[in-house]
Each structure stands twice: as C-alpha cells, then as structure tokens.
Amino acid sequence: MQEELKKIEAEALSELQAVANSADLEELRIKYFGRKGRLSTVMRGMGKLSAAERPVIGKLANEVRGNLTTAFEEVGEKLARQERENQLAMEAIDITLPGRRPQLGVKHPITQTLERIQQIFRGMGFHVADGPEIEHEYYNFDALNTPADHPARDLQDTLYITDEVLLRTHTSPVQVRFMEKHAPPVRIIVPGKAYRHDYDVSHTPTFHQVEGLLVDYHVTFSELKGVLHSFARQMFGDQTDMRFRPHFFPFTEPSAEVDISCTVCSGSGCRTCSGSGWLEILGAGAVDPNVFEYANYNPDEVTGFAFGMGVERIASIRYGIPDIRALYENDLRFLRQF
Amino acid sequence: MNVSINWLKEYIDFDLSPETLADRLLMLGVETESIKQLGEGLDGVVVGRINAVRNHPNANKLVLCDVDVGKSADVQIVCGAPNAREGLVAPVALVGAKLATSLKIEAAKIRAEESHGMLCSETELGIGEDTSGLMELSDDSPIGAPLAAALGLDDAVLELEITPNRPDCLSMIGIAREIGAETGNPVKLPSVHVKEGTANVQELTSVSIDAPELCPRYAARVIRGVTVAPSPKWLQRKLESIGVGAVNNVVDITNFVLMECGHPLHAFDYHKLAENRIVVRRAAPHETLTTIDKTERNLTSDMLVIADAEKPVALAGVMGGFDSEISDQTVDVLLESAHFHPPSIRKTSKALGMHTEASHRFERDADPEGVISAINRAAQLIAELAGGEIARGIVDVYPGRQTPVQVKLRPERVNFVLGTEISSDKMTEILTRLGFNVSSTFEVTVPTFRPDVSREIDLIEEIARVYGYDRIPTTMPTGDIPTAPSTAISELRERVRDYLVASEMMEAINYSFYDAQSLDRIRLETSDRARDALEIRNPLSEDMSIMRTTLIPSLLENAQRNRNYRVENIQLFEISRVFVPSGDSELPNEPERVSGVIAGNVGAGVHGDPYRAADFFDTKGIVEGLLNVCGISDYAIATTRHPVLHPGRNAAVSVNGESLGIFGEVHPEVLESYDLGYKAYLFELDFEVLAGAADLTRRVEPISIYPSVNRDLAIVVDAELPASSPVELIRSSGGALVKSVRLFDLYIGDQVPDGKKSLAYAIEYSSSTETLTDEQVDRVHEKIVKRLGAELGGELRS
C-alpha cells in the first residue's frame, strides 16, 4: 500500500505536468480525488490495514494527498492565469481606430480674446461696465473733447443714424456715462462693439474694443505705464517689451500710442511688424481735464488715465490672422481651429 | 506732409540717417509712414561732357563719343542718340553701374568698337519720361560729379503723419523746431529782405473784411511787372522732391513758402480783380465760382469768399478762382496772406468735397502772426525770381487780433501728473526750445503757432513728450479698488455661452447690420415689428445698411456660406444685441438675443457614432437644456405661427406668460432663398426675458438613501395623441413615488396598427422614507397602466 501511494503520487505529478488546460485538469482531479478516484480508492482500503500499519500509512496518505492538492492548486492557478492571458490577448483591438471625441463647440476667437483681457484686468481690480452701441453724438464726441467742426472728428469715420445719433466709434463714450453716475474712485473696463466706416485687411465696420478708465485722487502717467505693462506681459508673455509713443487723442492729455515688441520676431524685425520690431496695440493717455468737466468731476481734485484697445487687432496678433475680416465670416473651417 | 532731408537741413543742423530721424520724430509724436530714397539706381552714374564725336566705322546710326567723366583721360562710349553732339553735358553710367531699369553696365565691344559706359536718357535712368535722346544737363554741371548730387537727388523724403492738433508741424520749419527741441540745435529761420519800390500799396488796392468773424486777418501786397515763366530748376526740383508739381514761378513760390513755413498764400492776377480791390465776405445766395480746377462751385452764405468789387475770385482758404489765377500774361500780382476761422474752412471744404493743402492747414488753425513773415518771404522771392517791383507797404486788415495765451505752470504739478522727478530747469529748457517763453515765475507765453496749447496740462504733455515717455517710470496704481457693480447679467451670459459651446455649438460673431432684403428673405410680414429697423444714413454698402432687429438672417447667411464650402454639419449660435427703435427716447433699445442655427448633420460621424440628420428635437433639446442651465423649470412650449418657421414644426417658449422666443424648422421657402440644400432648424431667445426669469442659485435636495426601482412600459395610442399626455398622466397617477419618466422609444410601423403609435417609457420609482417593495411598486404601476388604458385608450404592448 505504501508503494501504491508512492506510485499514485509519482504518476499524478507526472500527469499533472502534461495538463494543458483547466478542463483536463478537472478530469485529472476527478481521476485522483473523485469519489471513485485512485486516491479515494486507496484510502477506502485503509480499513483493511492492521492497527500498527494504519498510522504509518495514514500519515503517508495524508502527506501524498497534501502534496497532490498543493500541486493541483499550483497548476490550476498557472492555467487560470494563462487562460486569462490568452483571453485578453484575443480581446486586443485596433487602437488606431479613431476615438469618439466629445463634439464640443468653440467660443469665437474674439470672445476668447475678450475673456482673457477681462480676466487680466479683473486681476488688477477693474470691473466691467457697458453702455449703448447706438450713441448720442454728445457722448461719442463732444463730451470727449471732440467738438463739431474739429478735424479730430476725421480721425474716425462715423456711421450715422441721424444728425445726432450715431454708431459709437469707440467704447470711450462709456467713460463719461459711467462718471456721471459714479463718484471716484473709478476702475473699469468696457468691452464692447464699436463701428466705423472702414473695410480692409485690418479694419472691419463692426469691431470690438476694450476701454479702460482709472480715476482717483492721485493717478499718474507712470501708473498707466505700469498697468499696461502688466497687461502686455500677461497677454503676450513675460518677455514682452513695451513702448509708449506720444500721440494725439482729443480726450487724453498727454496721449500715447503703445507698441509691444513683435511677437513673431521678438523685436529683430520681420514681415509681421514691417521690419520695425514693434506692433501697435492700443491708444492711451491721462484723462483730459475737459472730459472731467463734462462728467462733473473736478479736474483739480482727480486725475486719471484711459486706454482703448482693438480686440481684433490683439486676436490677430495672438493667433496670426493675416486678414481680420476672416473673424466675421464664421467659416466653420476657421472657427474649428480655436 | 512730405519732408525732404536736404531741404530740412536748411533750417536746422543734424547728422542723422533718415531712419534715425524717423525714429526720433516718432518718439516726439510724429510718425513716418514711408521713407523714399531719391536717386535710387544712380550709383555709378556721373555727369559727363562729350568732347568729341566721331562716326562709327561699322554702323551708320551709331557714333563714337570721347567723354570727359572727370578722370585723367576721356573714355570712349558708343552711342546711338540723335542729340549726341560735341559739348553736350549728359549723364554717363560708368562701367559697373546698375541702373534702375536693372541694366548692368559692362565694358563691351559694339560692332568692334570699344564702349566704356553708357550715355543715358531720362527713361534709362528712371528719373523722367523723355525718351527722345540723351538727358541734357546744364553746361555748368560739375563734370565727374555723381548725377544724384548734381540733380539734388542725393536726398530722402519722409512721408510724415501729422496729428490734427499740430498744424505747426505741417511745414519744414515746424519739423525743424521739433528736431531742435530734441537735439538742442537752434532753428535757422530764413532771413527776409523785401526791397520795396516807390509806389504805395495803399494807392493800388484796398482790403475790406465784411465778415470779420470768419476772417480775423487779411494782408495783401502788390508786385508789378513780373515775368511769369517756369521756375528755376532748383525750385522745381525742391517742390517735386516732396511731391508738389511745378506750375510757374509765382505759383511755385507761394507753394514753396507754404511748405517752408506752413502758411498758405494765394496770388491773384491784379488786373483780373474788378477795381483792383479785395472784399472778404460771405457768398451771396446762388453765387457761383469757377475754381482753379475748372469746376463751377455753387456757394452758400455760410461760405467765405474773397471777392473783388463785383464777384467772388477765390474760395477763402480753400482754392483760388480760375479767372483770376496767375497766367503767362500776368504782369502785376496781388499777393494774399490771411487767417481764417478754422471751423468755417472745414465746413466749406467738407460741403464742397474739396481738400487742399490750404484748407488742410486753415482748418487746423494757421498762425495769425505768421501772416506777415509769409507774405514778405513770398514777395522777396517773386521779386528775385520773377522780377517786378514790390509796392511799398502791406495792406494789413486785422480785426481779430488776439492777446498771446499765457499759462501758469506749476512744476510740482508736472511731476504729480506724470509720476516723475523732472527738474524745473529741465522743464524751462524743453519749453524754451519749443518756442515758449517761460518767466522766472513760470508764467508761460504760448507761441501763436501752437493753437493746441492753452492749459497747464498741454504744457505738461509738451514736457513729457520731449523729456521722453520711455524715461517716465513704470509703477502700479496705489489707490483704492472701488466696490464692484452687479455682474449678474454677464455671469448669465457666460453661463449660456458655456452651455451652448458644451452642446456642440460653435460661436459666431456677425456685423451688426445687413441689407434690407434680409427681412424679406426670412418672410417677415410687413406688419412684423422686426421690420422696424434703423437705417444707417451713410452705410458702407447696401449689404450693411440696416441695423439688425433679429440675428436669424445673419446665422442663415453663415449656414449658407458654410454650405457653399460643403461643410455638412452646421451648429452655430450668436449672442448679440439687436436694435429696436424706441418711441419715447432718442436712442433705441438694445435688447440682447441668443440665437442659433442647426443644419445638416449632428454627431461625431465616426464608427459607432455616425452622423444623423438634425431634426426639430435637437433644437428643442438645446433650448430646454438652456432653460435648465438658467434655472428655469416653469416654462411653456406651444405651437406658434412665425413666418420663418415650418407651419407644422415650430414652437414658442414662454416664461410666466412672457414670450421668451421661438424655435423650430426653417420654412422651406426660407431654405430656398438661402440656397440651403438641407433642412435647417433655428432658435431665437430674448436674453432680457431669459435673465428676468433666470435663477442661478441652487439648493441641494437630500439624496434618497433607498434604492429606486425601474419599470418600463410601452403603450399603443392614437398617432395624434401628444406624447406629453401619457407623461402627465403617469406623474399624476404615480404621485410622489414617480421620480422620473423618460420616453425612450417612439415607434410607428409594422406591428403597430395604422393611425397608432407605440410609446415606451422608463419610469423610476423611489421613496425618500423607505425601500419600496415589489408589491408597492406593482400596485402603483398597475394603477398607471389602468388609467392609461381608461383615459387615453392606451393598450399595453408586450
């Protein structure tokens, strides 16, 4: 019997080596461990053994059973692992098939640019204000120190509804409208549409501006430089250089046009900046005392600065758009690029 | 304003390249639009003299010239020009020269004779039109000198953009003064010596100003016995270099003085003036004047004219009259130098559509004190270049004399406004260089050529720009940040835009105007309020002539454009103001609209998610989702009538009884008028109404800890029955236990009788207080089924 057990163990282990799948393993398990299996059969013959033999054989039988159980489990695990691997291998897919992207829409590049501009100025404590797009001549010109029959009116080609009502040529009318209703200090930006009788690669008859106005008891020109410098670096990058040039606007004094170092060539001169190394991005200046008078502020008590930037211009620099009229064609092949 | 560098150097010393000069001027506020280098392509071209002409042994039409080009020996040049002759001084392109015509000159043999260069015509040099033969230079031209220098073409011309506040910069002397302010070099004014004759001007003419409010000053001189002829070459070239065409000596001199000092002058033929006198007056009604450009002008009484005893002879400050202009026959000249009221000149020039060098300066305000120096300078030059005798004295009528402007400057205020620490000495230096007189107590006298300066802030600007904006520090504001105004509307707008973008829609931005036919194309009835659109009085074109009252036409045009480019899935929205005339106020209302168009396909169009033709319910879903995002749950959707929409596939949305907008399928006739080859759907909502009903606050409801039970049911009902009826019934029968009802299938076809449809609903049951048992759910579910059958005739489908 002892020999029989050893033989069963050796045969079982050898057969186990040849098992290729879990079905065969189960069959083998029944062959040895089943009710009529070889191990069970031997165990059942234990009763015929002598009392002296029984503990010895019993111990051996338990040992064999234990060894075989462990061996079967090991093989079983190995087979299960293998079969899982085979299964997963069979499930492999062609990952080069296209993914199903969420069909997100896109905000218009003008909106995206406006949002960025607003975000930057909000960070500097500016609030958003607005005003009508169809405006009185008074707010668009007179109150901005631009009297009728002054050549400065020619700077802006105006679209008129009646003699006194026009499409605002800039967002600046909101300066006086806001100051009429609010006491200083004032710190606002005015994003919005404006209109001019202009149509070429860098002008559209409807366009967007962001006006800025800061008025307080002691505001300096140096602070205008600081705010715009900070804006330019956040908008166009930390390395952006800025240049203020004297200019003329009827409603600011001193007035400036503001350039940034070319975003394409960083200032060395290229086609985008016509070789100058600079790109004009906005007009600015200290609020003219006459404007304060119109707004019923006392120019001896307050100073301030204002600036106005063309959003299309900034978008065209930001995205490299050669003809800004493309922004108004709403060609989906264009819009999908943003 | 064009400025020649060589000419400019007559008034100020500087040693700057044209580019550097342009940069310096830019930082003073004068922008250079272009720099034109004169005499380009004249390198290697010199003045030559033909010393001998011999026949070419091998060619009839060619000659051999020995040409002195300023070197030790003459060079031989083969030439075919008919005017090649001994003694002729002509341009010679030396070997190695590359001409403007890109011809490169090389030593060559022409019919076996050596030729070391080329004698040139004007066209060959690219400096003139004459092709008849060699360009003939004056005999005293320096032989061997570069042609560019000999012709004054070694020059650059800056095209300057002068801002409208700076009439003083519309002249060479004005620009010289700007350079002087920066460099500190003094401005050299021309010295004027008028040699007057014996005749007294007061006996030859008189000036009467009938409209002193429009003409503060009028001065006249008379020069008799002039010879009108072409100007000397130097004067012609000077004017031509800055783009002013030469006419004759007298007219050229008035133009020269205009460019030199910025003061417009006019010369009359003295004998063409009735009674030889000047009357400055408003035009009489229906009066006409033929101006120098031979155009008859109809005048009105707000226009100022220069008249003689009978009729207008010039449009004051704008243009002279044709009949009294200087001609070859002119012998005696009346010279005008005046000052006119700027707004009047501007009105006249605008009304007649005439923009001239004179009107450009007068409407910006010329210098009333410059009148006399300008007339003297011109009289002197006329006497020098055209001969004649200057009558003694000036008729100078000056009813509008003004006292010089004085401004008190507070140096500490300068630094307060600029944020600088500029010394008061520096301020004085800057202002003095610009022509201001600064007293020790900082009383500043403004020169009369600076009409833009009348206040302290104007002086501060002068100091700032000459000191240099780049030297002003860069600091951050230190003041208080004001309290924020309400941001509710902009927050809602951002929320709506974010939602639409997340809903596969692309944002469009259109012009705020379109053509009047747009409203026909969307089939608006004549009585429709949206027909009441504001018209632009001076539109860019008919396409941009009325202000939008609805965004729909713009979006349909966008769809059309994309359709033309074969884009097959169009989902566009726009958030923008429209313009509605308002009865009681002058300005229109500007309500905001949220509109969208969906056309063609929706979906990703990839494997497993193919394109699907868009339909009504895509649009409805967008609108419902939008309302949900705005926190509006209490809204009504009902069929409506709107001409832009399909009569059977449209809806109106309202909130609290107020109309919010419409959506639906675009009417086939509208599709045709936009040439859209597929169906389109649109919506337009009034943002104001939306904002009025919106509620962005959210209160969290506790989530039930008990699981919900889902049951599906499908019923067959009449095809006519609105799909909303069973839902309402399910909700009312199920009461609080019905958590949600979702129509997951709609089926018409096989296995469903004609005139019927099958509706399948998924119902979610749950309770917030207990776990529902199957029995509890069954009881409610069966009740629902029973009532669907009894009240809607719905037959349960298995």
Transcribe B297-314 into DSSP letters.
EE--TTSEEEE-SSSEEE
Mean pLDDT throughout B432-460?
A: 97
User: Residue B798: pLDDT band by 50, 70, 90 thresholds?
Assistant: low
Between CA A91 and CA B65 the distance in angstroms is 96
The domain B2-38+155-183 is classified under which CATH number: 3.30.56.10, 3.40.50.300, 2.40.50.140, 3.30.2320.50? Answer: 3.30.56.10
Would you state the pLDDT for residue B221?
A: 97
Between CA B65 and CA B580 the distance in angstroms is 83
CB contact under 8 A, A162 and B163: no
Output the average pLDDT for chain B: 94
The 10s digit of each residue's pLDDT in A298-307 is 999 999 999 9
- Contacts of residue A197 in chain B, CB cutoff 8 Å? 538, 540
* Alpha-carbon distances, residue B645 vs A278, B500, B571, B572, B650 (angstroms): 52, 22, 17, 17, 6
Mean pLDDT throughout B257-275?
A: 97
- Determine how many CB atoms are found less than 10 A away from the CB of residue B577: 22
Tell me: pLDDT of A56 over 90. Answer: no
Interface test with A, best of B25, B506, B626 (most A CBs within 10 A): B506
The 10s digit of each residue's pLDDT in A97-115 is 999 888 899 999 999 999 9
Mean pLDDT throughout B291-310?
A: 96
Closest CA to B573 of B547, B601, B598: B598
Alpha helices in A97-201 (DSSP H): 109-123, 137-140, 173-181
Helix, strand and coil content of chain A, in percent to the nearest 5, comes to 45, 20, 35
Tell me: pLDDT of A149 over 90. Answer: no
Chain B residue with CA closest to A162: the answer is: B537
Contact B319, B306 (CB under 8 A): no
Tell me: pLDDT of A27 over 70. Answer: yes
Output the average pLDDT for chain A: 93
Q: Please report, for chain A, the start and end positions of each structural domain, with discontinuous segments joined by +.
A: 2-90, 109-335
* Interchain contact B481–A (C-beta under 8 A): yes
Contact B268, B336 (CB under 8 A): yes
Residue B333, helix vs strand vs coil? strand
- Contacts of residue B497 in chain A, CB cutoff 8 Å? 107, 111
Q: Does domain B709-797 have CATH number 3.40.50.620?
A: no
Cα B792 to chain centroid distance, Å, stands at 68
CB contact under 8 A, B509 and A195: no
User: Residue B7: pLDDT band by 50, 70, 90 thresholds?
Assistant: very high
Contact A181, A131 (CB under 8 A): no
CB contact under 8 A, A330 and B508: yes
The 10s digit of each residue's pLDDT in B107-164 is 989 898 999 999 999 888 887 777 889 999 988 889 999 998 888 788 999 999 999 9
Q: Residue B384: left (phi > 0), alpha (psi -120 to 50), or beta?
A: alpha
Would you state the pLDDT for residue A151?
A: 74
Fold of B488-693: BirA Bifunctional Protein; domain 2 (3.30.930)
- Contacts of residue A248 in chain B, CB cutoff 8 Å? 29, 163-166
Residue A309, helix vs strand vs coil? strand
- Contacts of residue B363 in chain A, CB cutoff 8 Å? 151
Residue B531 burial by Cβ neighbours in a 10 Å radius (0-12, 13-18, 19+): middle
- Contacts of residue A288 in chain B, CB cutoff 8 Å? 457
Would you state the pLDDT for residue A275?
A: 87
Q: Element (H or E) spanning B777, and its range?
A: helix B774-792
Closest CA to B547 of A46, A277, A135: A135
Between CA A100 and CA A281 the distance in angstroms is 40
Burial B456-478 (b: 16+ CB within 10 A, else e): bbbbbbbbbbbbebeebebbebe
Tell me: pLDDT of A154 over 80. Answer: no
Fold of B45-150: OB fold (Dihydrolipoamide Acetyltransferase, E2P) (2.40.50)
Tell me: pLDDT of B630 over 80. Answer: yes
Q: Please report, for chain B, the start and end positions of each structural domain, with discontinuous segments joined by +.
A: 2-38+155-183, 45-150, 196-397, 406-465, 488-693, 709-797
Minimal CA separation from A235 to chain B, in Å: 17
Minimal CA separation from A296 to chain B, in Å: 18
Tell me: pLDDT of B585 over 80. Answer: no
User: Residue A48: pLDDT band by 50, 70, 90 thresholds?
Assistant: confident
CB contact under 8 A, A105 and B571: yes
CB contact under 8 A, B482 and A328: no
* Interchain contact B33–A (C-beta under 8 A): no
Chain B residue with CA closest to A158: the answer is: B538
Between CA A146 and CA A251 the distance in angstroms is 7
Size of interface A-B (CB pairs under 8 A): 243
Would you state the pLDDT for residue B580?
A: 95
* Interchain contact B457–A (C-beta under 8 A): yes
Mean pLDDT throughout B658-684?
A: 95
Would you state the pLDDT for residue A292?
A: 98
CB contact under 8 A, A336 and B487: no
The 10s digit of each residue's pLDDT in B33-62 is 999 988 888 889 999 999 999 999 998 899
Fold of B406-465: Phenylalanyl-tRNA Synthetase; Chain B, domain 1 (3.30.56)
For domain A109-335, the CATH superfamily is Bira Bifunctional Protein; Domain 2 (3.30.930.10)
Tell me: pLDDT of A153 over 90. Answer: no
* Alpha-carbon distances, residue B252 vs B39, B192, B238, B474, B606 (angstroms): 23, 18, 10, 50, 76
Mean pLDDT throughout A60-79?
A: 91
* Interchain contact B516–A (C-beta under 8 A): no
Fold of B196-397: Phenylalanyl-tRNA Synthetase; Chain B, domain 3 (3.50.40)
CB contact under 8 A, B487 and A128: yes
- % of chain B with per-residue pLDDT over 70: 100
The 10s digit of each residue's pLDDT in B563-577 is 999 998 999 999 999
For the record, the structure tokens of B238 come out as: 């000077």
- % of chain B with per-residue pLDDT over 90: 86
Amino acid at B399: P
Mean pLDDT throughout B707-731?
A: 93
Mean pLDDT throughout B189-211?
A: 95
Between CA B93 and CA B77 the distance in angstroms is 10
For the record, the structure tokens of B507 come out as: 């944002």
